[in-house]
């Protein structure tokens, strides 16, 4: 390692030494967030917000393409409204923030700062759904929510975070079931094809499902350190909320029926996932499809006549091909190389007097460090292909890592050993009994991540109690 690299790497802790510290260092050094004045809050800086915007834009496109409309509901929820659905309020009560005063005056009823908006949407639906003609009602909102978490980390767990929450009402249980699955599919598409993170599709156990849901579907991904991260969830409410909030409609026969509802969400946690799946000891690695800047032009020996002009020309030429930026500052090229590697920009384009003379540029990949010389007149063709290669490579690497870190186990001894030695996903059979799920968590700290749609029978008996197994479950330590 050259002197230049060594200096650079000193800015961030090696992930092998301390993964948590590595994460914090990358988040700071890549300029994604800063801490807010209230413990556990975060300021998402331009570099971080631009990544969020790209995730948001693609997801928003797909949410609209599947027939949903965006809306904006209030930040405050009256306490009495939250109380209406018993499981829901019990699930969220420990972590809600209360508003007790308006100005100097104590409020007659406390308000909750939304931790999620089921109660508000249900209240609205109860007033605005009358007939089968009003259904389905397919709403989504992009907003912030507050959950008073005890331990916090930027993106992964913070008092306030950004997300989208879809809330839909349907005529039948089956319609709502289809919606629940459809939106999980949308999430999987965005996470796999844009964030380049492979996911396991499945259903949460009763213990892990959303408070108030009939069932929760989830996509689960594996981070570099072998811990899992829930990357998106989609909930089927059946008619539970409808009964609590009295949301009914007249069907085609004029009979009164309860609606069936869903809700689904993804959050800024996905940025945490992106960091922990693709990042390395040189910093962040952003998949090209969501990278705010896909290629950064770094002029070499830019004080020499014509170099900067050529670099600007190059940027203008490429602006319809890719999101290309240029750093014309008088900082040393070495500093710039390190800086844009830290920020995870997929491709660096180097151009100096010699390259201009030879009518070529140097392309350097962030994911592998590989360099290639490309003739100027072939660049328009080569750059998009290279970006796609990087996108694919990141996905393939993450998938390979997940496969290596997935272990089938058949007894508790093996379960514990595997978690101690390599972590990752554990595939093991389960009897379906809550007692076993709790015992596994207590003894190993691993939680059930999901009951995968793609079932396999890896053993006959439950990994914990050895009684007849019901289904295969993915287990892992999780963020
Ligand atoms: Zn069991």
| DSSP, residue by residue, 145-203 | EE---SS-BTTTB-SEEEEEEEEEEESSHHHHHHHHHHHHHHHHHHHHHTS----EEEE
The yes-or-no verdict on residue 5 having pLDDT over 70 is no
Looking at the chain, the whole-number percentage of residues with pLDDT higher than 70 is 98
The answer for 65, left when phi > 0, alpha when psi is -120 to 50, beta otherwise, is alpha
Mean pLDDT of 424-432: 98
Q: Which CATH class is domain 17-278?
A: alpha beta
Residues with C-beta atoms within 5 A of ion ligand 1: 431, 433, 436, 462, 464-465
Dihedral sign, Cα of residue 266, residue 270, residue 273, residue 277: positive
Spacing, Cα 401 to ligand 1 middle (Å): 29
Spacing, Cα 218 to ligand 1 middle (Å): 22
Q: Which CATH class is domain 406-476?
A: alpha beta
Q: How confident is the model at residue 120 (pLDDT cuts 50, 70, 90)?
A: very high
464 close to 410: Cβ distance less than 8 angstroms: no
CA distances from 44 to 57, 133, 274, 427, 444 (A): 17, 42, 15, 36, 35
Spacing, Cα 462 to ligand 1 middle (Å): 5
Spacing, Cα 463 to ligand 1 middle (Å): 7
d(CA 226, CA 404): 10
Mean pLDDT of 390-417: 98
Spacing, Cα 18 to ligand 1 middle (Å): 35
| Residue range 351-374, pLDDT digits in tens | 999 999 999 999 999 999 999 999
Spacing, Cα 440 to ligand 1 middle (Å): 9
Q: Which of 278, 262, 393, 308 lies closest to 23 in space, CA to CA? A: 278
Mean pLDDT of 4-11: 55
Q: How confident is the model at residue 92 (pLDDT cuts 50, 70, 90)?
A: confident
Q: Which residue has the higher pLDDT, 80 or 85?
A: 80
Spacing, Cα 450 to ligand 1 middle (Å): 16
pLDDT of residue 4: 47
Spacing, Cα 458 to ligand 1 middle (Å): 15
Q: Which residue has the tokens 């350190």?
A: 225
Q: How confident is the model at residue 89 (pLDDT cuts 50, 70, 90)?
A: confident
Spacing, Cα 416 to ligand 1 middle (Å): 16
Spacing, Cα 464 to ligand 1 middle (Å): 5
Mean pLDDT of 174-181: 98
What residue spans define the domains of the chain?
Answer: 17-278, 293-385, 406-476
The yes-or-no verdict on residue 291 having pLDDT over 90 is yes
Spacing, Cα 429 to ligand 1 middle (Å): 8
Spacing, Cα 407 to ligand 1 middle (Å): 19
Mean pLDDT of 164-178: 98
Q: How confident is the model at residue 87 (pLDDT cuts 50, 70, 90)?
A: confident
* Average pLDDT across the chain, whole number: 96
pLDDT of residue 10: 61
The yes-or-no verdict on residue 211 having pLDDT over 90 is no
Spacing, Cα 421 to ligand 1 middle (Å): 24
The yes-or-no verdict on residue 6 having pLDDT over 70 is no
Spacing, Cα 113 to ligand 1 middle (Å): 40
The yes-or-no verdict on residue 1 having pLDDT over 50 is no
CA atoms within 13 A on the CB side of 85: 27
Spacing, Cα 455 to ligand 1 middle (Å): 17
Mean pLDDT of 267-287: 98
Spacing, Cα 216 to ligand 1 middle (Å): 21
Spacing, Cα 202 to ligand 1 middle (Å): 20
Burial of 286-307, coded b for 16+ CB within 10 Å and e otherwise, reads bbbbbbbbbbbbbbbebeeeeb
The yes-or-no verdict on residue 313 having pLDDT over 90 is yes
At the fourth CATH level, the homologous superfamily of domain 293-385 is Anticodon-binding domain (3.40.50.800)
The yes-or-no verdict on residue 57 having pLDDT over 50 is yes
């Amino acid at each position: 390692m050259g002197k230049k690299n060594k200096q650079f790497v000193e800015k961030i802790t090696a992930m092998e030494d301390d993964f948590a510290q590595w994460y914090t260092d990358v988040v700071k050094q890549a300029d994604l967030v800063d801490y807010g004045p209230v413990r556990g809050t975060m300021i998402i800086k331009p570099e971080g917000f631009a990544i969020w915007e790209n995730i948001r834009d693609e997801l928003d496109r797909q949410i609209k393409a599947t027939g949903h409309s965006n809306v904006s509901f209030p930040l405050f929820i009256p306490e009495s409204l939250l109380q209406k659905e018993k499981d829901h309020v019990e699930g969220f009560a420990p972590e809600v923030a209360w508003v007790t005063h308006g100005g100097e005056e104590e409020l007659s009823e406390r308000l909750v700062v939304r931790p999620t908006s089921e109660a508000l949407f249900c209240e609205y639906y109860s007033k605005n759904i009358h007939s089968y003609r009003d259904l389905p009602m397919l709403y989504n909102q992009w907003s912030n929510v507050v959950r008073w978490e005890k331990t916090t980390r930027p993106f992964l767990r913070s008092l306030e975070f950004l997300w989208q929450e879809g809330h839909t009402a349907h005529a039948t249980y089956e319609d709502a079931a289809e919606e629940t699955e459809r939106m999980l599919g949308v999430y999987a598409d965005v996470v796999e094809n844009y964030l380049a993170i492979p996911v396991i599709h499945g259903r949460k156990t009763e213990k892990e499902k959303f408070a108030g849901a009939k069932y929760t579907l989830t996509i689960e991904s594996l981070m570099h350190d072998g811990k899992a991260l829930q990357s998106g969830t989609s909930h089927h409410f059946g008619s539970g909320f409808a009964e609590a909030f009295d949301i009914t409609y007249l069907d085609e026969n004029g009979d009164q029926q309860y609606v069936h509802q869903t809700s689904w969400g993804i959050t800024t946690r996905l940025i945490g996932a992106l960091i922990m799946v693709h990042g390395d000891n040189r910093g962040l690695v952003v998949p090209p499809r969501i990278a705010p800047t896909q290629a950064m032009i770094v002029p070499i020996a830019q004080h020499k006549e014509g170099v900067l002009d050529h670099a600007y020309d190059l940027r203008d030429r490429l602006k319809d091909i890719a999101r290309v930026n240029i750093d014309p500052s008088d900082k040393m090229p070495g500093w710039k190389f390190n800086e844009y590697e830290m920020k995870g920009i997929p491709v660096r384009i180097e151009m100096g007097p010699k390259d201009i003379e030879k009518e070529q540029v140097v392309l350097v990949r962030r994911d592998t460090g590989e360099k290639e010389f490309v003739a100027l007149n072939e660049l328009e063709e080569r750059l998009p292909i290279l970006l796609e290669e990087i996108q694919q490579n990141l996905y393939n690497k993450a998938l390979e890592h997940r496969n290596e870190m997935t272990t089938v186990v058949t007894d508790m001894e093996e379960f514990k050993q595997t978690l101690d030695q390599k972590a990752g996903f554990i595939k093991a059979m389960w009897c379906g009994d809550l007692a076993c799920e709790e015992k596994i968590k207590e003894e190993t700290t691993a939680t059930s991540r999901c009951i995968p749609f793609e079932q396999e029978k890896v053993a006959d008996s439950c990994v914990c109690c050895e009684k007849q197994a019901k289904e295969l479950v993915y287990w892992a330590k999780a963020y």
